[in-house]
């Protein structure tokens, strides 16, 4: 999922200064899952803004703010609802969702979150970056564990010389992912595959903005 982090309320307040009627949009995908921008957080922010004198004209959190059909369905258009009632939108969706709202509305759209990363969740509260969307996935060769995303240097030919006692030189609280990869490859009987040199990565595949177009 895409994880987000709610901005400090003071910062949100500042970005809305000068506006009166605020429509708050969350997202029930990543933002809700990591409890920083779902419906619950949207209501919490709404309560705070009301106390500060804003008129909250709506609080909604579609299941996928980054899907235009969900924002602008012919039967019930959230965008129309916003357009009629608000003079500013506060979005708690990820960067994609927030931009989609902004490019389809004539009024200002402010973000109440910062988009962090594509991550995995454990125990409902630990979120860790697992993928950097490099466009050239290598994990079939590394035991299903990504060294591109989970090694700060994105090393693909094995660990660096800073991997001491299982720890990453960049952050001693971070285990070196190559220890995990070695363990996993051993477990599945593929350790020897790591002996082969890996050529340079094709970074042209991650030049943004990227597109995916489905065949009709």
Nearer to another protein (CB atom), residue 58 or residue 159: 159
Dist CA 94 CA 102 (whole Å): 12
Measured torsion, CA atoms of residues 65, 66, 67, 73, in degrees rounded to the nearest 10: 40
Dist CA 190 CA 143 (whole Å): 8
Interface stretch with another protein, choices 100-108, 120-128, 132-140, 174-182 (CB under 8 A): 174-182
Contact between 72 and another protein by CB under 8 A: the answer reads no
Distance of CA 40 to the CA centre of its chain: 18
Contact between 194 and another protein by CB under 8 A: the answer reads yes
Query: Smallest gap, in angstroms, from Cβ of residue 196 to another protein?
Result: 8
Measured torsion, CA atoms of residues 189, 195, 199, 202, in degrees rounded to the nearest 10: 30
The binder of another protein chosen from 21, 155, 174, 184 (CB under 8 A): 155
Query: Smallest gap, in angstroms, from Cβ of residue 20 to another protein?
Result: 38
The answer to whether residues 2 and 94 touch, using CB atoms and an 8 Å cutoff, is yes
Query: Smallest gap, in angstroms, from Cβ of residue 42 to another protein?
Result: 32
Element (H, E) at 109: strand 109-111
The binder of another protein chosen from 169, 184, 190, 206 (CB under 8 A): 169
Q: In the structure encoding, which two tokens stand for residue 33, read together?
A: 């899952």
Contact between 179 and another protein by CB under 8 A: the answer reads yes
Dist CA 170 CA 161 (whole Å): 12
Contact between 156 and another protein by CB under 8 A: the answer reads yes
**Which residues contribute to the site for another protein (CB under 8 A)?**
152-166, 169-170, 176, 178-179, 182-183, 191, 194-195, 197-201, 203
């Amino acid at each position: 999922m895409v994880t987000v982090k709610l901005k400090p309320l003071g910062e949100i307040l500042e970005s809305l200064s000068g506006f009166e009627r605020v429509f708050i949009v969350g997202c029930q995908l990543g933002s809700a899952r990591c409890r920083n921008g779902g419906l619950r957080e949207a209501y919490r922010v709404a309560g705070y803004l009301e106390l500060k004198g804003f008129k909250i004209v709506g609080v909604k959190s579609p299941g996928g703010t980054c899907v235009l059909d969900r924002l602008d369905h012919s039967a019930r258009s959230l965008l129309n609802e916003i357009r009629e009632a608000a003079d500013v939108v506060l979005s708690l969706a990820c960067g994609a969702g927030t931009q989609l709202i902004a490019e389809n509305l004539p009024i200002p759209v402010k973000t109440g979150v910062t988009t962090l990363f594509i991550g995995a969740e454990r125990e409902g509260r630990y979120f860790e970056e697992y993928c950097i969307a490099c466009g050239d996935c290598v994990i079939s060769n590394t035991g299903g564990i990504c060294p591109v995303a989970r090694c700060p240097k994105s090393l693909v030919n094995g660990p660096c010389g800073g991997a001491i006692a299982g720890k990453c030189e960049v952050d001693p609280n971070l285990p070196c992912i190559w220890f995990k990869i070695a363990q996993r490859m051993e477990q599945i009987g593929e350790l020897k595959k790591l002996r082969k040199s890996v050529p340079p990565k094709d970074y042209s595949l991650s030049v943004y903005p990227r597109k995916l177009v489905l065949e009709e």
